[in-house]
Amino acid sequence: MQDPFVLAGKSYRSRLIVGTGKYADFRQTRQAVEISGAEIVTVAVRRVNITDPSAENLLDYIDPSRYTILPNTAGCHTAEEAIRTCRLARDAGVGSLVKLEVIGDDRTLFPDIPATIEAARVLIAEGFQVLPYVTDDPVACKRLEEMGCAAVMPLAAPIGSGLGIRNPYNIMIILEHSRVPVIVDAGVGTASDAAAALELGCDAVLMNTAIAGAEDPLLMAEAMRLAVEAGRKAFKAGRIPRKLYATASSPLGGLVGR
Decide: is 84 part of the binding site for other proteins (CB under 8 A).
yes
Q: Tell me which of 2, 9, 93, 243 binds other proteins, using CB under 8 A.
A: 93
User: According to CB under 8 A, which one of 11, 13, 22, 63 is a site residue for other proteins?
Assistant: 22
> Which DSSP state fits 242?
P
- Applying CB under 8 A, which of residues 10, 34, 78, 87 lies at the interface with other proteins? 87
Cα–Cα nearest to 173, from 134, 133, 136: 136
Binding region for other proteins (CB under 8 A) out of 87-95, 137-145, 196-204, 236-244: 87-95
Asked if 58 and 43 count as a contact pair (C-beta separation under 8 A), the reply is: yes
**201 close to 181: Cβ distance less than 8 angstroms:** no
Q: Does 159 bind other proteins (CB under 8 A)?
A: yes
- Single out the segment in contact with other proteins by CB under 8 A; choices: 83-91, 138-146, 197-205, 240-248: 83-91
Give the H/E segment covering residue 184: strand 183-185
Enumerate residues 36-55 that contact other proteins by CB under 8 A: 42-48, 50, 53-54
**Residue 243 a catalytic site member:** no
* C-beta closer to other proteins: residue 138 or 187: 187
Residue span 54-73 as binding mask against other proteins, x where in contact by CB under 8 A, dash where not: x--xxx---------x-xx-
Answer positive or negative: Cα dihedral of 227, 35, 101, 186.
positive
Output the CA angle 118-75-208, nearest 5 degrees: 110
| Residue 97, number of CB atoms within 10 A of its CB | 22
Counting residues that bind other proteins (by CB under 8 A) gives 39
Distances (CA, A) of 126 to 129, 203, 231, 242: 9, 26, 36, 47
- Interaction site with other proteins (CB under 8 A): 19-23, 26, 29, 42-48, 50, 53-54, 57-59, 69, 71-72, 74, 84, 87-89, 91-94, 159-160, 186, 206-209
As annotated, the active-site residues are 99
